[in-house]
Structure 1
Amino acid sequence: MSEREALGPRARNRAAIEAALRDVGRRHLAEHGAAALSLRAVARDIGIAPSALYRYVRSRDDLLTLLIVDAYDDLADALDAATTPADPPRTAFVAFATALRAWARSNAGEYALIYGSPVPGYHAPGDVTRRSGTRPLALLASLAVRVDAVPEVPGTSGSTQRAAAAALAPAAADPAVPRGADPASIARTIAVWNLLLGSIASELFEQLGPVTDDPDAVYAGITDLAAALLFG
């Protein structure tokens, strides 16, 4: 007997509606964007009255929060599956970066929701989204701390880099930051993270226009550059 079959009729019905809520919500994200998300439209596509949907989510903001947490966890699970502690740090990073882009290309609506422009009028509740939201970046940080020292980058200003690291020193105490991550490592991790996210956003949303017919090669070059920033 499956886990679902072991549930009573009411629990099975609730599980089915919750699954449909997530599926239809994700589809509406992809088709209409987060700002146009509507509980009434979602309820219509599920086949239930809007009043019945309020038993599961109280508002559009609740639905957005649910979809945000799901998106972060789904991405983090994909990144976890792509990397292994047994791989050398650079190899694991390339796998991480490749999986990040692959997930974004397959889930453009959810990528826009968690890493795109803020949804007007919506403020994510940090106590609900924080654990899931920090997972992808924390995994990247865990790769960065596997090197003995942050590599120097020719042409950069030592004083500017030290100031940036000092500004991030309080982050070292964050529970989501891996042990052993010093401020310089945190600063470099954030720089690489922004480099990857910016590259993916430019590709997904055509922010730079039709600049290339080989985006795979462009992203491979960016990944290689990012790896050099982390590992030398």
Structure 2
Amino acid sequence: MSTTPRERARAQTLLDITRIGREHLAADGAAALSLRAVARDLGVVSSAVYRYVKSRDELLTLLVVDAYTQLGDEVDAAVDAADGPVEKFLTLGRTVRSWGLREPAGYALLFGSPVPGYHAPAEQTTGPGTRVIVKLVQIFDEAWREDRLVARTTPASLSGLHGDFSDIRNEMGTDMSDDALARGVTVWASLFGAVSFDVFDQYGSDTFGARDQIFEYQLALFVELAGLT
């Protein structure tokens, strides 16, 4: 469907606001974002920007969606080009880490400390924000259907979570066991924990000289933990 010149102009202005917002996010951090500063760099008065973005929180939401979309697009493209569940999982992990190291401000906005006073609107951020975990579930589900995910007896310690896992199965369209889902959740949390340690320099700047090797070792452990074969 064709768009009008006004619609194209509005879309371009929103892209410019998002781009400048990313620059300010990288330079000053999320808590210091200012629509007035964005308007100044855009070359317009503040009131002009408010026609597109009504508040700092709306600007933050634009940046959150933008960052999730960047990450999701890169993960989808990389994983879809890989063969087999193990290689797809390794590719997903490497892509998340690569994006985080390249875009630390965006990664921090998504997975770092919450911005004081800001609450991301679920109706705008849930879809983009769950793309990576949906891809991860698809990888595990593919392995499960191909008998390449080790089937184990669900331990009694997970009995209280059966209802939650049933909801996940219904939402994600999978029939993985409670144990397989629990291992998947643990791998998910561990993967982003490992990436966060690296992106936020939690190891210390001079602790490891070859962080790529540490991460590859961690990925191999996550493969074993997930039960991928």
Please tell me the TM-score bracket, short chain as reference.
0.7 to 0.9
Task: Give the drift of 1:184.
Answer: 2.5
Residue in structure 2 matched with residue 206 of structure 1 by the alignment? 201
Shift in CA distance, 152/183, structure 1 to aligned 2, threshold 3 Å: closer
Distance 2:64 2:23 in 1: 14
Check whether the contact 1:105–1:204 (CA below 8 A) recurs between aligned residues: yes
Are 1:168 and 1:187, in contact at CA under 8 Å, matched by a contact in 2?
A: no
Quick one: distance in 1 between partners of 2:99 and 2:160?
Answer: 30
For residue 131 of structure 1, the aligned residue among 127, 132, 151 is 127
SS of the residue 1:168 aligns to:
helix
1:1-232 correspondence to structure 2 within 5 Å: 7-8=4-5, 10-84=6-80, 87-145=83-141, 146-147=143-144, 148=147, 151=150, 158-160=155-157, 162-163=158-159, 165-166=161-162, 168-173=164-169, 175=171, 177-209=172-204, 210-230=206-226, 231=228
Per the alignment, do residues 142 and 110 of structure 1 end up closer, same or farther by CA in structure 2, a change over 3 Å counting?
same
CA contact (8 A) 2:169 2:175 kept: no
The letter for the 2-side match of 1:205 is F
User: Identity of counterpart residues, as a percentage?
Assistant: 37
Partner deviation per Cα, 1:11-58 (whole Å, 9 max, x = no partner): 343233111111111111111111111111111111111111111111
1:172-225 deviation line (CA, Å, top 9, x unaligned): 2553x2422443232222211111111111111112313201010011011111
Structure 1 residue 159, shift from structure 2 partner: 3.2
- Please list every run of 5 or more consecutive structure 1 residues that lacks an aligned counterpart in the other structure: none
Q: Counterpart amino acid of 1:63?
A: L
Query: Using the alignment, how far apart are the partners of 2:131 and 2:225 within structure 1?
Result: 21
Contact 1:165-1:186 within 8 A present in 2 as well: no
Q: Which moved more, 1:199-208 or 1:218-227?
A: 199-208
1:181 to 1:72, Cα distance in 2 relative to 1, 3 A = farther
Q: Does structure 2 retain, via aligned residues, the 8 Å contact 1:165–1:184? A: no
Contact persistence 1:37–1:60 (CA under 8 A): yes
Give the deviation of 1:85 after TM superposition: 7.8
Q: Which runs of 4+ in 1 moved over 4 A?
A: none
How far 1:152 moved relative to its partner? 7.2
CA 1:30–1:170: 2 relative to 1, 3 Å? farther
Partner Cα separation in structure 1 for residue 161 and residue 148 of structure 2? 14
What's the offset of the Cα at 1:167? Answer: 6.5
Cα 1:165/1:84, change in 2 over 3 Å: farther
For 1:215, the aligned partner's letter is R
Question: Conserved in 2, the CA contact under 8 Å of 1:151 and 1:229?
Answer: no
The unaligned stretches of length 5 or more in structure 2 are none
Aligned residues: 223
Contact 1:150–1:184 at 8 Å: present in 2 too? no
Could you say what the CA RMSD is over the residues aligned between the two structures, in angstroms?
2.5
- Residue 51 of structure 2 aligns to a residue whose secondary structure is coil
Partner SS for 1:121: coil
